[in-house]
Amino acid sequence: MQKLSRDTLMSLEQYAEARPDFRAKVIAHKIPRRIALTPNATLYFEDFLTMQYQVQEMLRVERIFEVDGIMEEIEAYNPLIPDGQNWKATFMLEYGDVAERKAALARLVGVEDRIYVRVGDGERCYAIADEDLERATEEKTSSVHFMRFELSDADATLVRNGAPIAFGADHDNLPCEVTLTDAQRASLAADLTP
């Protein structure tokens, strides 16, 4: 999978002109990459295009145009782009009500270690969560976690050959599993490099 570099980014002026069309393209691209496990628990799968958009938006908002600042953003976001036989996702626990969110985050301690993918009839492959820093405590989990799903050679081959893909959680307070639609499956399968 391609990684971000200065050559893959637009200048602030170029981005200002291209932004409406680029934004529409990214929004459409993200639709099949959003996997709702429950109404409040969602996986948002990242790739080159989603991270290119994120960096372009950061540069725009922060008015970053110097090389060091651009490189800092590239270095921060490149690790979120799949690289090989893995998927990278942002896992979000979203609750509109503050009291409900606080109670849920306390109830869901450890959920980030119980999120999995299952390819075909295979075994569960658990996500590697928060490699960059610890986001949870013994009292509560975070509402945002960064995850990497590292597939075996066999599972990656099954994905490339069209096997069904399911994501789920086996946490006591969030038992769920969803099978991807054809559009979702195709979008994630494209992330795997041979």
pLDDT at res. 58: 94
DSSP string for residues in the chain: -----GGGS--HHHHHHHHHHHHHHHHHHHGGGEEESSSSEEEEEE-HHHHHHHHHHHHHHHT--SHHHHHHHHHHHGGGS--SSEEEEEEEE--SSHHHHHHHHHHTTTGGGSEEEEETT--EEE-EE-SSS----SS---SEEEEEEE--HHHHHHHHTT--EEEEEEETTEEEEEEPPHHHHHHHHTT---
pLDDT at res. 131: 76
In this predicted model, what pLDDT tens digit does every residue of 157-188 receive, in sequence order? 999 999 999 999 999 999 999 999 999 999 99
**Residue segments in the chain with a per-residue pLDDT below the cut of 70:** 1, 133
d(CA 181, CA 148): 21
Cβ contact 64:58 at 8 Å:
yes
First CA to last CA distance, the chain = 10
pTM of the predicted model, to two decimals?
A: 0.91
How does 43-62 read in b/e, with b if 16+ C-beta sit within 10 Å? bebbbbbbbbbbbbbbbeee
Q: What are the boundaries of each domain within the chain?
A: 6-189
pLDDT at res. 69: 93
pLDDT at res. 133: 65
DSSP string for residues in 22-64: HHHHHHHHHGGGEEESSSSEEEEEE-HHHHHHHHHHHHHHHT-
CA 73 to chain centre: 17
